[in-house]
Structure 1
Amino acid sequence: MATGNILIADDDTAIRTVLSQALSRAGYDVRATGTAATLWRWVQSGDGDLVITDVVMPDENAFELLPKMKKLRPDLPIIVMSAQNTFMTAIKASERGAYDYLPKPFDLRELVSIVGRAMSEPKNRVKVERNEELEGMPLVGRSPAMQEIYRSLARLMQTDLTVMISGESGTGKELVARALHDYGKRKKGPFVAINMAAIPRDLIESELFGHEKGAFTGANQRSAGRFEQAEGGTLFLDEIGDMPMEAQTRLLRVLQQSEYTTVGGRMPIKTNVRIIAATNKDLLVLIQQGLFREDLFFRLNVVPLRLPSLRERIEDIGDLAQHFFTLAASEGLPLKHIEPDALERLKRYRWPGNIRELENLTRRLAALYPQEAVTAQLIDMELAINAPALTQGFAPAGAARPQEPERAATLASAMERHLSELFRGHGDSLPPPGLYHRILRELEYPLISAALAATRGNQIKAAELLGLNRNTLRKKVRDLDIRLMRSPR
């Protein structure tokens, strides 16, 4: 039977009651209060072996009280609960020395388990200094899947453990790697990223480790590699599954001995970097195929972190879309908001491109359409024009692949709704003359813009995609005043 005294602070009577009963049944002595002042008085008097507290209290925020409690009693484990389930809440809890953070609503059995673990650990936990007030929101989402990511990141911030981030393309792997660096103990050092899939295989070793003058044809001077550039900071190895075997062998030596040699060099160079790797491939399959070293996998996979696809966190789509609209507005584009019906359309879509695809869509909507409100009709039209994504779009899993007439019918239906609203908006009168050319312009603008976005602004490829002459496309781009924008990463 467990023993010890637990202090609970939460202004919600129901939560205090539920926690008190569950912990009492587990064998603990429990005292509960609805104010931060009472909790602080208990802690000052030496009461309690562990504290469970909500963040938002009627008289004081727990994040203001937490550093005082840790300063007075450094070994007192404090578990923080919050309904403000954001990445920054988890990080602030960790920064201020909390033992753990739990988002509301929480699993009662998990909380009791965390209490048991905290009570059984030696009372010599290292005190974490409070950093300056954190700003910004590098990660967005309140879904249960993201709450697990936030809690994992909060635990990893003050460590140098090697992390392996897995997940589909577009789920934000580099963003997570940057968060680990920017809010961790190496934040004053450089963050250096290298994508293995984007570098010719015969140049990867030179890119990673650098080379000496004369090491190979064309090496006219010494060049620093990414390890040297990342010294004292973090090296992010993206798409690690595309690293050739020769480079894998050299990387394994670095992880084992913390030293490397440049290409063409003889003297070993000591290195002090934190390694974060990422992949959208199943490395265990690559190991079976003889394409990835098993010993390197275990060296990199110290802490595995799997990012959920957007399909697994559809409740975050509204927050994400509004976040991207706000970013677009900060860059000079009009600020948009999503109507409820439009948000439902977005939640029904399957998002094969994940968060990156959603960001691209919001930027197109911000750049191409004058209206402030994003309607369901607008979403239907954008997704209908984006034919490759629509193939996996609104159809449920396992459904037959939509055929061309069905796509055309979807676009036609969206146009019919648009025209019906247009005529209704003029009451008994008719719209101004020139409707035919005005509607054609409305269709051409997003169609050509989408083609240019899909081809990253390459007008030759866009013309081939649309079946237009190159000169015709250039004229339409000029006549429609389409801005040639680089596709967002």
Structure 2
Amino acid sequence: MKESILLVEDDSSIAIVITAALEAEGLHVDRCDSIAGRDCLLASKPYGLMLTDVMLTDGDGIETLPPVRAAFPRMQVIILSAQNTLDTAVRASDTGAFEYFPKPFDLEELVRTVRQALGALDGSDLPDAAEDLGQGLPLVGRSAAMQAVYRMITRVLRNDLTVLILGESGTGKELVAEAIHQLGNRRDGPFVAVNTAAIPHELIESELFGHEKGAFTGAVARQIGKFEQAARGTLFLDEIGDMPLEAQTRLLRALQSGRIRRVGGTEEIALNCRIIAATNRDLVPMIAAGTFREDLYYRLAVVPIELPPLRERADDVEALSRHFLARAAAEGLPRRQLSAAGAALLARQPWRGNVRELRNFIFRLALLARDDVVDDATIEPLLASDNAAQRAGEPEAGIGNAAPADFATALDAFLIQARPEPGTLYDSALAAFERPLFLHALAQTGGNQLRAAQLLGINRNTLRKRLVDLGIAPEDALGGR
């Protein structure tokens, strides 16, 4: 009967827990611990759902699934695995599995998913062929946070839904976009990446949509834009939060209509590419501030994937470090091994630059280490040197110490609270940020206006006038210290 479930699990403790949870829901569960036992039970009666481990005593549960899927096309499959890599997640997805659960898993979530699988008429929206496409992808990590990312990736491989990848700088947003492209339906087409923040605002529309000869001064020939270059493939729009509003409007129109027009042209060209966007900025306050279009946000964020910072996946630091050491050796640097103590030290670091910072550090370590086995004694001096260099390059604590992204967040917050009238943004923002800036400069110089003006890079008389205009008294400056 449809509610009968087959559990294929060679870990008896896990099998007992799952069986008890499902039977408490009124479901009947048959258990076995091998592929041979699975095939025997499948031949004896129909099942609505099979839960199967990957590494079983007599073989790989995924590799042997295609004939089972062919013989029982309406039976749902949920895959359980301790081999928690993107490769495993993709292999599970390619079998047409209803869901993939990395171990350890949340038992309540598993029970809910079993109910959903049994209630689904047909979960075979993915191909039956088990094709191992995950090998060689540069996504490393088995932490719970990365498992959530892998599961989201597998959900978008067999469709063209627009994906918005969110995360701090250095978390690997472009790598995720490349993985979706390489594993998805459009892998035979081109992957075109565009950093929208690096394109001058006046050229961004021409870069994206192309232009006709004579469209503007300097347009001496027709140029094919990134949308057309990505035909039959994937267009990756990085740093989408930095796109100017006018270009956002044209991008929205293109996504809504499915057509573009080159700058200076009249011909409409049908889009034939998947769109993946990414940003390290928080778009919600930008929407409230009017600097990012809400309708464009919802067009892009059909499937949002949020990448965790490295500090929230410290369990992955060792695997990443060993991966980068191997990469460094492959690129001609000395071959190094990482000791347990060295791995533990690396896992304790904050890695504010995330995976990108770790990668650069490991390559530097591979170059400078004296011994083949790298331990904590070798790593500590290099970390100390890096930290000292960072401190030397940073301004003293205060308003000027904010990173560009932090300043943008502060400005967004100001815009939400102040809501300046149209045309008054410059004066309103200048007044809001100028006062704490002057107070900070005076506090740093002990109230000495000449030194404060020199610190700010302005004329002393200008400083005096602005202090009067802003109502800053000497005691305010000293108190700000």
CA contact (8 A) 2:236 2:276 kept: yes
1:204 aligned partner = 204
CA contact (8 A) 2:235 2:275 kept: yes
CA distance in structure 2 between the aligned counterparts of 1:390 and 1:383, rounded to whole angstroms: 11
CA distance in structure 2 between the aligned counterparts of 1:21 and 1:345, rounded to whole angstroms: 41
Q: Is 1:89 paired with 2:91?
A: no
CA contact (8 A) 1:383 1:389 kept: no
Written as runs of structure 1 = structure 2, the 5 A alignment for 1:252-271 is 252-271=252-271
CA contact (8 A) 2:93 2:126 kept: no
Q: Which amino acid aligns with 1:121?
A: A
Q: Which amino acid aligns with 1:334?
A: P
1:311 aligned partner = 311
Q: Is 1:216 paired with 2:216?
A: yes
The CA RMSD over aligned residues, in Å, is 1.8
CA distance in structure 2 between the aligned counterparts of 1:293 and 1:376, rounded to whole angstroms: 48
CA distance in structure 2 between the aligned counterparts of 1:97 and 1:389, rounded to whole angstroms: 51
CA distance in structure 2 between the aligned counterparts of 1:127 and 1:334, rounded to whole angstroms: 44
Q: Say which SS state the counterpart of residue 63 (structure 1) adopts.
A: coil
Deviations 1:305-362 (A, max 9, x none): 1100000000100000000010111111112112222222212211110000000001
Q: Number of matched residues?
A: 392
CA distance in structure 2 between the aligned counterparts of 1:96 and 1:121, rounded to whole angstroms: 17
Q: Say which SS state the counterpart of residue 386 (structure 1) adopts.
A: helix
Written as runs of structure 1 = structure 2, the 5 A alignment for 1:314-463 is 314-387=314-387
Q: Say which SS state the counterpart of residue 125 (structure 1) adopts.
A: coil
CA contact (8 A) 1:67 1:97 kept: no
Q: Is 1:154 paired with 2:147?
A: no
Relative to structure 1, the CA distance from residue 366 to residue 260 in structure 2 (aligned partners, 3 Å threshold; closer, same or farther) is: same
Structure 1 residue 363: Cα displacement: 0.6
CA contact (8 A) 2:98 2:123 kept: no
Unaligned stretches of 5+ residues in structure 1: 393-400, 402-489
Relative to structure 1, the CA distance from residue 389 to residue 131 in structure 2 (aligned partners, 3 Å threshold; closer, same or farther) is: farther
Q: Say which SS state the counterpart of residue 81 (structure 1) adopts.
A: strand
1:24 aligned partner = 23
CA distance in structure 1 between the aligned counterparts of 2:113 and 2:130, rounded to whole angstroms: 25
Q: Which amino acid aligns with 2:248?
A: Q
Structure 1 residue 81: Cα displacement: 0.6
Structure 1 residue 391: Cα displacement: 5.1
Structure 1 residue 387: Cα displacement: 3.1
Q: Say which SS state the counterpart of residue 51 (structure 2) adopts.
A: strand
After TM superposition, the structure 1 stretch with the greater mean CA deviation from structure 2, 381-390 or 28-37, is: 381-390
CA distance in structure 2 between the aligned counterparts of 1:363 and 1:127, rounded to whole angstroms: 39
1:36 aligned partner = 35
Structure 1 residue 380: Cα displacement: 1.5
Unaligned stretches of 5+ residues in structure 2: 393-400, 402-481
Structure 1 residue 69: Cα displacement: 1.1
Structure 1 residue 46: Cα displacement: 4.2
CA contact (8 A) 2:328 2:335 kept: yes
CA contact (8 A) 1:99 1:118 kept: yes
CA distance in structure 1 between the aligned counterparts of 2:263 and 2:166, rounded to whole angstroms: 30
Q: Say which SS state the counterpart of residue 140 (structure 1) adopts.
A: coil
Relative to structure 1, the CA distance from residue 191 to residue 361 in structure 2 (aligned partners, 3 Å threshold; closer, same or farther) is: same
Q: Which amino acid aligns with 2:122?
A: K
CA distance in structure 1 between the aligned counterparts of 2:271 and 2:373, rounded to whole angstroms: 52
Deviations 1:229-250 (A, max 9, x none): 0011110000001111111111
Written as runs of structure 1 = structure 2, the 5 A alignment for 1:63-212 is 63-123=62-122, 125-130=124-129, 132-134=131-133, 135-212=135-212
2:301 aligned partner = 301
CA distance in structure 2 between the aligned counterparts of 1:264 and 1:21, rounded to whole angstroms: 67
CA contact (8 A) 1:173 1:307 kept: yes
CA contact (8 A) 1:63 1:96 kept: yes
Q: Say which SS state the counterpart of residue 115 (structure 1) adopts.
A: helix
Structure 1 residue 383: Cα displacement: 1.5
Relative to structure 1, the CA distance from residue 341 to residue 259 in structure 2 (aligned partners, 3 Å threshold; closer, same or farther) is: same
Q: Say which SS state the counterpart of residue 367 (structure 2) adopts.
A: helix
CA contact (8 A) 1:66 1:97 kept: no
1:250 aligned partner = 250
Q: Which amino acid aligns with 1:92?
A: R
Q: Which amino acid aligns with 2:79?
A: V
Q: Say which SS state the counterpart of residue 64 (structure 1) adopts.
A: coil
CA contact (8 A) 1:44 1:72 kept: no
CA distance in structure 2 between the aligned counterparts of 1:390 and 1:345, rounded to whole angstroms: 19
Q: Say which SS state the counterpart of residue 149 (structure 1) adopts.
A: helix
Deviations 1:68-121 (A, max 9, x none): 111111121111111111110000000112111111111111110110010111
CA distance in structure 2 between the aligned counterparts of 1:344 and 1:370, rounded to whole angstroms: 20
Structure 1 residue 18: Cα displacement: 1.2
Q: Say which SS state the counterpart of residue 277 (structure 1) adopts.
A: strand
CA distance in structure 1 between the aligned counterparts of 2:227 and 2:45, rounded to whole angstroms: 49
Relative to structure 1, the CA distance from residue 124 to residue 336 in structure 2 (aligned partners, 3 Å threshold; closer, same or farther) is: closer
Relative to structure 1, the CA distance from residue 149 to residue 63 in structure 2 (aligned partners, 3 Å threshold; closer, same or farther) is: same
Q: Which amino acid aligns with 2:146?
A: M
CA distance in structure 1 between the aligned counterparts of 2:153 and 2:123, rounded to whole angstroms: 22
Identity of aligned residues (%): 50
After TM superposition, the structure 1 stretch with the greater mean CA deviation from structure 2, 288-297 or 313-322, is: 288-297
Deviations 1:181-231 (A, max 9, x none): 000011001100000111111110000000100111111100110000001
CA contact (8 A) 2:177 2:276 kept: yes
Structure 1 residue 19: Cα displacement: 1.2
Deviations 1:280-302 (A, max 9, x none): 00111111221111110111111
CA distance in structure 2 between the aligned counterparts of 1:61 and 1:25, rounded to whole angstroms: 29
1:457 aligned partner = none
Relative to structure 1, the CA distance from residue 225 to residue 307 in structure 2 (aligned partners, 3 Å threshold; closer, same or farther) is: same
CA distance in structure 2 between the aligned counterparts of 1:334 and 1:189, rounded to whole angstroms: 36
Structure 1 residue 258: Cα displacement: 0.4
Q: Which amino acid aligns with 2:230?
A: A
